[in-house]
Structure 1
Amino acid sequence: MKTTTRLAFFALLLFLASTLSRAQTDTVRANAKLPDHPRLLLLKGEEKALLKAIQADPVWTKAHGAILAECDRMQSLPPVERIQIGRRLLDKSREALRRIFFLSYAYRLTGQKPYLDRAERELLAVSAFSDWNPSHFLDVAEMTMAVSIGYDWLYNDLSETARTQIREAIQKKGIEPSLEKKHNSWLTATHNWNQVCNAGITFGALALYENNPEQGRMLVNRAVRTVVRAMADYAPDGAYPEGYSYWGYGTTFNVLLISALERAFRSDFGLSRQPGFMQTADYLLHMTGPSGASFNYSDAGRGGGVQPAMFWFSQKRNDPSLLWVERTHLTADPKPMLNDRILPAMMVWGKGVKMNRINPPAATLWAGGGKNPVALFRSSWQDPKAVYVGMKGGSPSVNHAHMDAGSFVLEANGVRWGMDLGMQDYNSLESKGLNIWGKDQNAQRWQVFRYRNEVHSTLTVNNELQRVNGNAPLTSYASTPAFQNATTDLSSVYQGSLKTARRGIGLMAGSYVVVRDELEAAAQPTTVRWSLLTPAEVSITGPNTAELRKDGQTLTLRVQEPAQVTMKTWSTTPPNSYDAPNTGSSVVGFEVQMPAGATGALTVLLIPQGANVPTTPTPALSSWPRK
Structure 2
Amino acid sequence: MTGVNDVLATLRDGHPRLLLTDERLAELKRRVADDPLLAKIVADVIAQADRDLDRPVLQYVLQGPRLLSVSRELVRRTYGLGLAWRWTGQAKYRDRLVENLLAVCAFDDWHPEHFLDTAEMAHGVAVGYDWLYNALDEPTRATIRDAIVRHGLQVGLAGFEGTPWGWWHRVSHNWNQVCNGGLIVAALAVAEDEPAVARQTLARALASLPLALRQYGPDGAWGEGPGYWGYATRYTVYALASLETALGTDLGLSDIPGLDRAGEFPLYCTGPTGYYFNYADSGELNARGPLPSLLWLGRRYHRPAYVAEELQIAAARRAEPRHLIWYPDDSAAKALPRSLDKRFGGEVEVALLRSAWGDADALWVAVKAGDNQVNHGHLDLGGFELDALGVRWARDLGSDDYNMPGYWEGKGGGRRWTYYRMRSISHSVPLLDGADQDPLATARLTAFHSAADRGHAVVDLTKAYQPAAAKVARGVALLAGRTAVLVQDEFDLPQPAEVAWGMTTDAAIEVQAGGRAVLTLKGRRLAARIVEPAAAAFSVESARQAAPQKTNEGVSRLVVRLPGRQGPVCVAVLLAPADAMDAAAASVKLVPLDDWEGPKE
Q: Same fold, TM exceeding 0.5?
A: yes
Partner of 1:494: 465
Alignment of 1:270-349 (within 5 A): 270-301=252-283, 302=285, 303-334=287-318, 343-349=320-326
Partners of 1:543 and 1:567 within 8 A in 2? no
Deviation at 1:167, TM superposition (A): 0.5
Partners of 1:30 and 1:214 within 8 A in 2? no
Deviation at 1:435, TM superposition (A): 1.4
Partners of 1:53 and 1:351 within 8 A in 2? no
Alignment counterpart, residue 206 of structure 2, candidates 212, 224, 243: 224
In structure 1, the residue corresponding to 2:55 is in which secondary structure? coil
Distance 1:313 1:398, change over 3 A: same
Partners of 2:442 and 2:463 within 8 A in 1? yes
1:602 maps onto 2:565 in alignment: no
Partner of 1:354: 331
Residues 183-239 of structure 1, C-alpha deviation per residue, up to 9 Å, x if partnerless? Answer: 422111111111000011111100000012232222222222111111222222221
Alignment counterpart, residue 400 of structure 2, candidates 413, 420, 424: 424
Partners of 1:483 and 1:625 within 8 A in 2? no
> What is the alpha-carbon distance in structure 2 between the residues aligned to residue 409 and residue 155 of structure 1?
49
State the one-letter code of the partner of 1:306.
P
1:485 maps onto 2:485 in alignment: no
Distance 1:545 1:284, change over 3 A: same
State the one-letter code of the partner of 1:618.
L
Deviation at 1:512, TM superposition (A): 0.8
Partners of 1:396 and 1:404 within 8 A in 2? yes
Deviates more, 1:239-248 or 1:576-585: 576-585
Superposition TM-score, scaled by structure 1 size: 0.91
Residues 513-558 of structure 1, C-alpha deviation per residue, up to 9 Å, x if partnerless? Answer: 111111111x321111101111111000124111001122111110
Partner of 1:379: 355
Residues 157-179 of structure 1, C-alpha deviation per residue, up to 9 Å, x if partnerless? Answer: 01222111101110101111111
Partners of 2:314 and 2:323 within 8 A in 1? no
In structure 2, the residue corresponding to 1:307 is in which secondary structure? coil
Partners of 2:41 and 2:323 within 8 A in 1? no
> What is the alpha-carbon distance in structure 1 between the residues aligned to residue 6 and residue 530 of structure 2?
61
Instruction: State the aligned residue count.
Output: 589
Alignment of 1:158-197 (within 5 A): 158-180=136-158, 181-182=162-163, 183-197=165-179
Partner of 2:189: 207
Partners of 1:50 and 1:351 within 8 A in 2? no
State the one-letter code of the partner of 1:411.
D
1:561 maps onto 2:538 in alignment: no
1:236 maps onto 2:218 in alignment: yes
Deviates more, 1:445-454 or 1:54-63: 54-63
State the one-letter code of the partner of 1:350.
Y
> What is the alpha-carbon distance in structure 1 between the residues aligned to residue 312 and residue 419 of structure 2?
35
Alignment counterpart, residue 109 of structure 2, candidates 131, 136, 143: 131
Alignment counterpart, residue 513 of structure 1, candidates 485, 505, 510: 485
> What is the alpha-carbon distance in structure 2 between the residues aligned to residue 115 and residue 398 of structure 1?
42
Alignment of 1:373-522 (within 5 A): 373-427=349-403, 429=404, 434-508=405-479, 509-521=481-493
Alignment counterpart, residue 550 of structure 1, candidates 521, 528, 531: 521
Residues 18-76 of structure 1, C-alpha deviation per residue, up to 9 Å, x if partnerless? Answer: xxxxx244654463332321000112332111223444332232222111011111111
Residues 595-617 of structure 1, C-alpha deviation per residue, up to 9 Å, x if partnerless? Answer: 44x01211110011332313441
> What is the alpha-carbon distance in structure 1 between the residues aligned to residue 472 and residue 419 of structure 2?
25
In structure 2, the residue corresponding to 1:472 is in which secondary structure? strand
State the one-letter code of the partner of 2:46.
L
Distance 1:214 1:49, change over 3 A: same
State the one-letter code of the partner of 1:501.
V
Partners of 1:466 and 1:494 within 8 A in 2? yes
State the one-letter code of the partner of 2:592.
A
Deviation at 1:623, TM superposition (A): 2.6
State the one-letter code of the partner of 2:349.
P
1:584 maps onto 2:554 in alignment: yes
Deviates more, 1:446-455 or 1:51-60: 51-60
Partners of 1:24 and 1:224 within 8 A in 2? no
In structure 1, the residue corresponding to 2:28 is in which secondary structure? helix
Distance 1:554 1:595, change over 3 A: closer
Deviation at 1:117, TM superposition (A): 0.8
1:619 maps onto 2:591 in alignment: yes
State the one-letter code of the partner of 1:622.
D
Residues 114-159 of structure 1, C-alpha deviation per residue, up to 9 Å, x if partnerless? Answer: 1111111111111111110010000000000000000001100012
1:121 maps onto 2:99 in alignment: yes
State the one-letter code of the partner of 2:338.
A
> What is the alpha-carbon distance in structure 1 between the residues aligned to residue 301 and residue 9 of structure 2?
31
Partner of 1:18: none
Partner of 1:364: 340
> What is the alpha-carbon distance in structure 2 between the residues aligned to residue 150 and residue 616 of structure 1?
61
Root-mean-square deviation (Å): 1.6
Deviates more, 1:54-63 or 1:78-87: 54-63
In structure 2, the residue corresponding to 1:493 is in which secondary structure? helix
In structure 2, the residue corresponding to 1:267 is in which secondary structure? coil
Partners of 1:472 and 1:491 within 8 A in 2? yes
In structure 2, the residue corresponding to 1:502 is in which secondary structure? strand
Deviates more, 1:144-153 or 1:495-504: 495-504
In structure 2, the residue corresponding to 1:426 is in which secondary structure? coil
Partner of 1:48: 26
Distance 1:320 1:30, change over 3 A: closer
Partners of 1:540 and 1:546 within 8 A in 2? yes
- Structure 1: stretches of 5+ with no match in the other structure: 1-22, 338-342
State the one-letter code of the partner of 2:574.
L
Alignment counterpart, residue 511 of structure 2, candidates 524, 540, 561: 540
In structure 2, the residue corresponding to 1:263 is in which secondary structure? helix
> What is the alpha-carbon distance in structure 2 between the residues aligned to residue 325 and residue 32 of structure 1?
34
Deviation at 1:395, TM superposition (A): 2.4
> What is the alpha-carbon distance in structure 1 between the residues aligned to residue 78 and residue 291 of structure 2?
19
> What is the alpha-carbon distance in structure 2 between the residues aligned to residue 480 and residue 609 of structure 1?
24
Distance 1:421 1:435, change over 3 A: same
Partners of 1:28 and 1:220 within 8 A in 2? no
> What is the alpha-carbon distance in structure 1 between the residues aligned to residue 51 and residue 495 of structure 2?
66
- Structure 2: stretches of 5+ with no match in the other structure: none
Percent identity between matched residues is 35
Deviation at 1:416, TM superposition (A): 0.9
Distance 1:360 1:150, change over 3 A: same
